[in-house]
Amino acid sequence: MADWLTGKVTQKRQWTERLFSLRFTAPINSFKAGQFVRVALEIDGEIVARPYSLVSSPADAENEIFFNIVPDGPLTPKLAELSPGDEIKVAGKPSGLLTVDQVPIARHLWMLATGTGVGPFISILKSDDVWQRFEKIVLVYSVRLSSELAYQDDLAGVNRLYRQQFSFIPLITREKQQGAINRRVTDAIVSGDLEQQAGITISADDSHVMMCGNSAMIADVMALLEGRNMQKHLRREPGHITIEKYH
């Protein structure tokens, strides 16, 4: 049983009908950019807890999570009802291995996210060490509709600071928009669009790929990358791919 800390919601941001960010204070342990924390509410007398990546950077005074309402899910509809001042339960110890210190030395870091899976990458991009470790960092952020592209101000800020080193490539699958690729991640890899836009290739020689979000995207991209002699990174067997599946 987790020992729950009591946190307080300080801010709620609604991006679309179903997409939300919550900021909250809670005395959680220090964490590494890319890690997640368990968040819970008491619902009908029971504690309902789920893991959420921290979007905030370890240096921030407040914590932030980014989630979408799963209509039949027990927790997310209730999380979305919270307002500033409300209490939230948070487990004290963040954890997870989607962190840059777990990545072996490589020249290029590719971050592939679907939907709310962009959260840990926002945290990583806001930290200094990732910019010392890689020559080039590419964030690929896939959503269905352009309105679902969150954190654009943060990403514009990252781009201003690291213009030479950073490429942001939005993929919008159900709408055409200038500057975005209108394909799924796998199709954009197979067609060559993704690498053309980034100006670098995804290769076992010089790339590490981090993926976060939907397990179908992760499985499909894994299969493609295995065809390029890339393999999942394990502590006992260094590889080229680090993943975190949300659902």
Q: What is the DSSP string of the chain?
A: -PPEEEEEEEEEEE-SSSEEEEEEE--PPP--TT-EEEEEEEETTEEEEEEEE--S-TT-SSEEEEEE--TT-SSHHHHHT--TT-EEEEES--B-S-SGGGSPP-SEEEEEEEGGGGHHHHHHHTSSHHHHH-SEEEEEEEESSGGG---HHHHHHHHHHSTTTEEEEEEESSS--TTSB-S-HHHHHHHSHHHHHHTS---TTTEEEEEEE-HHHHHHHHHHHHTTT--B-BTTB--SEEEEE--
Which range touches ligand FAD (CB under 6 A), out of 4-12, 46-54, 99-107, 159-167? 46-54
Q: How far is the CB of 77 from ligand FAD (least distance, A)?
A: 7
Among 43, 47, 59, 70, binds ligand FAD (CB under 6 A): 70
Asked if 53 interacts with ligand FAD (CB under 6 A), we say yes
Number of residues this chain uses to bind ligand FAD (CB under 6 A): 20
Q: How far is the CB of 247 from ligand FAD (least distance, A)?
A: 3
Near ligand FAD in 79-98, by CB under 6 A: 96
Near ligand FAD in 103-162, by CB under 6 A: 116, 119
Q: How far is the CB of 74 from ligand FAD (least distance, A)?
A: 4
Among 5, 15, 25, 51, binds ligand FAD (CB under 6 A): 51
Interface residue list for ligand FAD (CB under 6 A): 36, 50-53, 65-68, 70, 73-76, 96, 116, 119, 244, 246-247
